[in-house]
Amino acid sequence: MGEVRVGQGFDVHAFSDDPGRRMVLAGVEFEGPGLVGHSDADAVAHACIDALLGAAGLGDIGERYPDTDERLAGADSMALLADTVAAVRSEGWVIGNVDCTVIAEAPKLAPKRDEMRRRLEAVMGAPVRVTGRRAEGLGALGRREGIACMVVALVQRP
């Protein structure tokens, strides 16, 4: 077996007061208020990007896609994830698997979890697990002020 690395990603976004802002997680649209962010604020895609960049030793999401870059305003985070996957592969890495945990009181992920998983797998070309957890009323996430996502990604060189 070749070299194996693990990366960890994390992202958090507050809910937006803008009624026109879409809620997008893993490229899937949900009902409810959108999230505040420079791009589409897809916390799942962002955490996946950071986990993959970390595993491959390619920096972090802020370096690669800075929120000061006006070209990225409103960007589709799944397209940024696809760009990240291409960069990881260009360095000779193969994505082994990705595990995503979304922490939110709302929206409920279960009805769209399979669609989220399929979209992530299509972009990353690897098995993905998506789970949802509640903050049980604790802290900002428990008060329904936003959503967080934690991701672990394994990459390997054959």
46 torsion bin: left (phi>0), alpha (psi -120 to 50), beta (else) = alpha
Tokens representing residue 131 in the block: 């789970």
Q: Which secondary structure element, helix H or strand E, spans residue 147, and what is its range? A: strand 146-156
Three-class DSSP category at 5: strand
pLDDT digits (tens, 9 = 90+) for 46-84: 999 999 999 999 999 999 999 999 999 999 999 999 999
Domains of the chain, residue spans: 4-156
pLDDT digits (tens, 9 = 90+) for 97-144: 999 999 999 999 999 999 999 999 999 999 999 999 999 999 999 999
What mean pLDDT is reported for the chain?
Answer: 96
Domain 4-156 sits in CATH 3.30.1330.50: yes
Q: Do the beta carbons of residue 3 and residue 40 sit within 8 Å?
A: no
